[in-house]
Structure 1
């Protein structure tokens, strides 16, 4: 039935104008069609199941063995061609799409007339025989077609898809329907996480779960989200990192643990940051940050090879080689290379601050030499780190949970991994000296009291755990979303989050 006929019926329907007065014409027509189905006892929403025998991709990929087979497929109607006594349509399921051939002589006149009223976007079940058309298109010759769900909203225009970026993120369900590349991104994301788990599980790591609601937001320098527990009448925090709990498990003797989970940081939003994100942290007893470096490059290169079939990828038009071994530079070496300043020759905090001013690096308060080194790195170095590069030996002032270097106690055994100028991983030789750890917590507390909302709080129970003895341990954190961005060539973090944080529409 053409839409104009349905619209005429609409004006003849009792109370129709009251019920549909705020809907545009297409929405009205689709609701009239649904009302007719319901009136005739054919309400699609009352169908509770449909038996599917094959995916569309399986049929297409295995046509030689499937030709002539009777199959049952289900999916969304994405196009309709013809409408006389025979029609061709495309049906899309999770794995792909297939053409269906609906002929009046095969399904019967009554069923064919009902089929002609189906809309693009409707979900259908199809049973029929696999064949290939004269033009070579693998298809299903339909013997039975059933409307399983009525689409009351029209899909975006066929040839342009859903282009409005804000709308794509808000209505991800539509984005997934009309943009196959988006759907593939999230399928690849799932494969990446599965490959990470396999890599770690095969090496004897134990996956664990630690609390998301914390009484102390520890393990990172970040501003937390605050909530309130009514029964206990205390403020609690959404976790910013699982680190301190995972290290408690190392104290408890589990030795090799990891967690993949959601973290929450009440900070800015950008193409690299979302307040809610996925982080993986790994801890292994009896190793150090060098062991974590080897683990990191092996893990990422293995995952790329397994999921993409290569360790040479393209990100935003630039080739990235993930083949180990990767570049290694200390932070001091990197700053000397790209800023022309050798911090080994700087003897005081004041001298460091003066050099920063000469280099026009913005500083606040009276930062120490180590803090200035970190600022200089961020200002002059990060933009050059396109290929995988480990930056080693961070200042102790910006590494409150990290073991000091024995031969240079102002620095720590810490690295960050940079790829495409973005931090991808952070790792330490974990601080296991409870006395040193308490002193660093006290320093963080002082910074917090001075107004630094990202500084760590004192965690007395964690100190107690360290007092029982934690073996030498290496720890690693990898941002899963950024890794997925890299391996799917996605520019924005919102492109790899199914439901990114959005400001509500007014």
Structure 2
């Protein structure tokens, strides 16, 4: 590559010596390639004049004529250069072009004797000189980590296949926004830099504001500020935005990720389950044309209603552990280890139950790969959730799962400020025992609750995981254009 780059730099210098600007300020395109291909028959002929632009993907010279293939964001077309049309000096400059350069070509449209739709060049201009070679177009870029690390090469080498993933991601967000807007929700924006993090069980990233001389946190959840808006009188609000959690990286986790959170006054978790299943079915219909999708070889029916399965019942059925028979952390941990599950004694009983839930899904049980809700969670892992109206020790919380992926988290929101304070205090005790992800006590949020918040339902959905499902991608890194990556071997040295 070093030799190739040196050759291109020499060509760049030659162009400049000839008075050619290799990086002009603008392009004078009259049509996209897709435009002329769509109406080719009616536009073709020697009297036409079209200016197309694109990246050179193929280039071959044959004496007094040359052929190229250029590609813009809409398609590709062959270009025919001839010395008699361009003049000897301009034609010689073709030798200074490389694959990957961007050019602008003006000419007329015709079909070659081999049936190739072609732009016959009357003039051309270099728009940008590429100094590094492109990945091989027809073998693609197969190194998955390189595709994720250098997404621009992935998009160049793998073309429509790679681009389609991010088109699906965009359409997923657009459909979600349309559903919420059509159902009376107001989109808002809340701080990403926060004086105190909260709303989730996670470790934060910490930064420092020089002027204020104070540490701030990148938000781990949107929740607490949206609830403040409910307190203030909004009845339906949502935000689609970035969250940041200082956690590990795997197929379903990236430290920087996109969430949608929405809150609805005078609603509970039953209302939010209905909203979620209807919204995701709507998204699938808009993005895929059907409420049936295929994810990693499994056909999934997203048509509402989805099954509602109590969490503890599911754990008993799929792990063989009836957690209600183990009323404290130590006894549950002993049983988990006896059955081959890991059990960290720094965690609470509720967190151990949460670990069992994860282990249950890792078993690849077919019925757990369909769309479903797990409902009614332990109180001590749900510090922002209202206690269950009929089941002591549990809360009105659910999580949607699709294709074995946990896609979100939702509650009947806790609006009793005294109960909320007690929950925060319990979380602080868990922190003191070594649980670094336990939530912190937020006095300002408690003050807002004391003003009064109506009964409220809320949901947070992971946009990246929904994109994984809609685009049928195995890893979250495949649906984030520029995911967080580990250092390369060179960077570690």
What residue number does 1:197 align with?
177
How far is the alpha carbon of 1:343 from its aligned partner?
4.5
Residue by residue over 1:136-195, the C-alpha shift from the partner in whole angstroms, topping out at 9 and shown as x without a partner, is: 433322222111010111112343233333332332222222221222222222222222
> Are 1:142 and 2:142 counterparts?
no
Q: Which moved more, 1:114-123 or 1:151-160?
A: 151-160
Aligned partners of 1:356, 1:327: CA distance in 2, in Å? 27
Q: Which moved more, 1:380-389 or 1:252-261?
A: 380-389
What residue number does 2:191 align with?
211
Alignment of 1:171-250 (within 5 A): 171-180=150-159, 181-250=161-230
Coordinate RMSD, CA, aligned:
2.2
Aligned partners of 1:164, 1:346: CA distance in 2, in Å? 47
Alignment of 1:302-321 (within 5 A): 302-321=282-301
How far is the alpha carbon of 1:218 from its aligned partner?
0.2
Q: Which moved more, 1:404-413 or 1:176-185?
A: 176-185
What residue number does 2:17 align with?
39
What residue number does 2:382 align with?
399
Alignment of 1:406-485 (within 5 A): 406-485=389-468
Aligned partners of 2:319, 2:149: CA distance in 1, in Å? 42
Which of 21, 25, 33 is residue 56 of structure 1 equivalent to?
33
Residue by residue over 1:405-427, the C-alpha shift from the partner in whole angstroms, topping out at 9 and shown as x without a partner, is: 11113111111111121101211
What residue number does 1:8 align with?
none
What residue number does 1:85 align with?
64
What residue number does 2:2 align with?
24
What residue number does 1:13 align with?
none
Q: Which moved more, 1:161-170 or 1:494-503?
A: 161-170
State the SS of the aligned residue for 2:393.
strand
Alignment of 1:264-283 (within 5 A): 264-283=244-263
Change in Cα spacing, 1:197 to 1:136, as seen in structure 2 (3 Å) is farther
Alignment of 1:109-124 (within 5 A): 109-124=88-103
Confirm or deny: 8 A CA contact 1:356 1:362 kept in the other structure.
Answer: yes
How far is the alpha carbon of 1:345 from its aligned partner?
5.9
State the SS of the aligned residue for 1:405.
coil
State the SS of the aligned residue for 1:227.
strand
Confirm or deny: 8 A CA contact 1:335 1:381 kept in the other structure.
Answer: no
Change in Cα spacing, 1:62 to 1:429, as seen in structure 2 (3 Å) is farther
How far is the alpha carbon of 1:349 from its aligned partner?
5.9
Residue by residue over 1:275-305, the C-alpha shift from the partner in whole angstroms, topping out at 9 and shown as x without a partner, is: 1111111111111112211221222222222
Q: Structure 2-normalised TM-score?
A: 0.92
Q: Which moved more, 1:158-167 or 1:322-331?
A: 158-167
Confirm or deny: 8 A CA contact 2:384 2:413 kept in the other structure.
Answer: yes
Change in Cα spacing, 1:371 to 1:241, as seen in structure 2 (3 Å) is closer
Alignment of 1:330-345 (within 5 A): 330-343=310-323
Q: Which moved more, 1:251-260 or 1:66-75?
A: 66-75
Q: How many residues align?
A: 483
Confirm or deny: 8 A CA contact 1:353 1:367 kept in the other structure.
Answer: no
How far is the alpha carbon of 1:82 from its aligned partner?
4.4
Q: Which moved more, 1:35-44 or 1:324-333?
A: 324-333
Change in Cα spacing, 1:37 to 1:463, as seen in structure 2 (3 Å) is same
Aligned partners of 2:450, 2:339: CA distance in 1, in Å? 44
Confirm or deny: 8 A CA contact 2:333 2:344 kept in the other structure.
Answer: no
Change in Cα spacing, 1:446 to 1:65, as seen in structure 2 (3 Å) is farther
Aligned partners of 1:94, 1:231: CA distance in 2, in Å? 44
How far is the alpha carbon of 1:341 from its aligned partner?
4.0
How far is the alpha carbon of 1:86 from its aligned partner?
2.6
How far is the alpha carbon of 1:402 from its aligned partner?
0.8
How far is the alpha carbon of 1:108 from its aligned partner?
3.1
What residue number does 2:359 align with?
379
Residue by residue over 1:330-353, the C-alpha shift from the partner in whole angstroms, topping out at 9 and shown as x without a partner, is: 112212321234455666666545
> Are 1:76 and 2:55 counterparts?
yes
How far is the alpha carbon of 1:65 from its aligned partner?
4.8
Aligned partners of 1:500, 1:373: CA distance in 2, in Å? 30
Change in Cα spacing, 1:26 to 1:410, as seen in structure 2 (3 Å) is same
Confirm or deny: 8 A CA contact 1:349 1:369 kept in the other structure.
Answer: yes
Aligned partners of 1:331, 1:63: CA distance in 2, in Å? 60
What residue number does 2:371 align with?
388
State the SS of the aligned residue for 2:377.
coil
> Are 1:156 and 2:139 counterparts?
no
Change in Cα spacing, 1:348 to 1:458, as seen in structure 2 (3 Å) is closer
How far is the alpha carbon of 1:216 from its aligned partner?
0.9
Aligned partners of 1:368, 1:28: CA distance in 2, in Å? 61
Structure 2 residues without counterparts, runs of 5 or longer: none
Which of 251, 274, 277 is residue 297 of structure 1 equivalent to?
277
Structure 1 residues without counterparts, runs of 5 or longer: 1-22
